[in-house]
Amino acid sequence: MIPSPARPIRLLIVDDSAYNRRNIADVFANHSEVEVVGKAGDGEEALKLVTTLAPDVITLDLEMPRMDGFTFLRILMSKTPTPVIVISSYSQRENIFKALELGALDFVPKPDRLGPEATEARAEILQKVLLVRSLRTSFAAMTLVPKPSSGAFRVDEKVGGGDDRSAAPARPYRMPRTLVAIASSTGGPSALLHLFGRIAPSTQAAFVVAQHMPDKFTRTFAERLDRRGPVRTVEASDGDVVARATGFVCPGRKCMEMVLSGSQLSLSVAPATKEDRYVPSGNRLMRSAAGAFGARCVGVILTGMGDDGVEGGRAIRDAGGVVIAESQETAVVNGMPAAAVRAGIASEVLPLPEIGEYLAKM
């Protein structure tokens, strides 16, 4: 159950380093909203403490002796689904996304040292642990994202693959018939992996994503989306051409906009400005999509805190396009979708599987 405001959030810290366990606990020393109820040095000890302590949230290191973080996550999510914040180094990007697919809620990049000098990381740990109060009232394990069926597509049928943009022969440019602009935050990576796994190989749409994520992780995430389905997906670069069956993830700490020049659609990628409340900005992406593609736009607002996507979604609706908000039954954090619903801009409010069906049939 999600803790009520009347009592502190019960936190279990799991890390094989006594130094890290101590420093993570110190983050909450002066915060009455969080109570550190236990510490564990490996997955086996953590599973025992989950049973006896019933924590509301867990911070988790992935590389541990005896039982690593992946095995712990598999067992935890099958028996006692509990929100997990992964704290792992920048060098373990692939492992972090694997953990998110196994059910972890979110992650914090771990610096070389987590002492008092690591102010940014410590603030982010605090913020994401406090986020547990914003989760839907009954947290269920985020199931493993289904892989595409074996006959859905072949890698060599993509326009390109992974980071090698010249791996496939050049094809004549074909303007997308539809542009799908997606905004997401906490819980978004797993939701996006699900959606990209549902896209039909015959799609004539293009997909652009503003996922709130640190800059050193968006490229790895784009590569995982690329492997998930038939859409050739990369981390966006300034000037990239947007064609049918292509996907682009906005780099962290930057914002992405659509540019229509004659009969060609491309991207403008630039650092965020002081006016951008969220980075990457779903609002900027969707507003530019509405300006470039009008009624041929579909805006999708997925799980996350705040209200990113509302202004951009309004621009898409005003231009005659469609805006889909994820429903509260599947949105891990219902802030962004609920804000879209309250603003009256959502054309449809759908659970995640039905959004996948919508994109598959589009």
C-alpha to C-alpha distance for 95 and 73, rounded to whole angstroms: 12
| Pair of tokens at residue 347 | 């054309």
Average pLDDT rounded to a whole number, residues 151-176: 55
Please indicate whether residue 90 or residue 255 has the higher confidence score (pLDDT). Answer: 255
> Which of 65-69, 70-74, 154-158, 278-282 shows the lowest mean pLDDT across its residues?
154-158
Pairing of strands 322-326, 348-350: parallel
Give the residue among 261, 219, 268 at the shortest CA–CA distance from 239: 268
For the cut 50, the answer to whether the pLDDT of residue 344 exceeds it is: yes
Please indicate whether residue 164 or residue 247 has the higher confidence score (pLDDT). Answer: 247
- Which residues are tagged catalytic? 185, 212, 308
Output 123-130 pairs: Cβ under 8 A, ≥24 positions apart.
Answer: 125/24, 125/27, 125/59, 125/85, 125/87, 126/27, 126/28, 126/31, 126/34, 128/85, 128/186, 129/9, 129/11, 129/28, 129/34, 129/57, 129/59, 129/85, 130/9, 130/33, 130/34
C-alpha to C-alpha distance for 345 and 339, rounded to whole angstroms: 9
| Pair of tokens at residue 229 | 């389905």
pLDDT at 140: 57
For the cut 50, the answer to whether the pLDDT of residue 59 exceeds it is: yes
Q: What are phi and psi of 43, to 5 degrees?
A: -65, -35
For the cut 60, the answer to whether the pLDDT of residue 157 exceeds it is: no
pLDDT at 355: 97
Average pLDDT rounded to a whole number, residues 165-171: 55
Residue with tokens 């069956």: 245
| Pair of tokens at residue 164 | 């090698």
**Looking at residue 107, what DSSP letter applies?**
E
Grade residue 361 by pLDDT with cuts at 50, 70 and 90: confident
Residue with tokens 């420093």: 23
> Mind listing the pLDDT tens digit for each residue in 91-138?
788 999 999 999 999 999 988 778 788 889 999 999 999 999 888 655
For the cut 90, the answer to whether the pLDDT of residue 75 exceeds it is: yes
Helix (H) or strand (E) segment spanning residue 312: helix 310-318
**In the predicted model, what is the mean pLDDT of the chain?**
89
For the cut 80, the answer to whether the pLDDT of residue 223 exceeds it is: yes
Average pLDDT rounded to a whole number, residues 264-284: 96
C-alpha to C-alpha distance for 313 and 309, rounded to whole angstroms: 6
Helix (H) or strand (E) segment spanning residue 261: strand 254-261
Q: What are phi and psi of 156, to 5 degrees?
A: -75, -5
pLDDT at 169: 55
For the cut 90, the answer to whether the pLDDT of residue 323 exceeds it is: yes
Please indicate whether residue 349 or residue 135 has the higher confidence score (pLDDT). Answer: 349
> Which of 106-120, 262-276, 277-291 shows the lowest mean pLDDT across its residues?
106-120
Q: Which amino acid is at 276?
A: D
Give the residue among 138, 78, 152 at the shortest CA–CA distance from 356: 152
Average pLDDT rounded to a whole number, residues 29-52: 96
Assess contact for 108 and 121: CB atoms under 8 A. yes
Upstream peptide bond of 351 is cis (omega within 30 degrees of 0): no
For the cut 60, the answer to whether the pLDDT of residue 167 exceeds it is: no
C-alpha to C-alpha distance for 116 and 290, rounded to whole angstroms: 45
For the cut 70, the answer to whether the pLDDT of residue 236 exceeds it is: yes
pLDDT at 170: 66
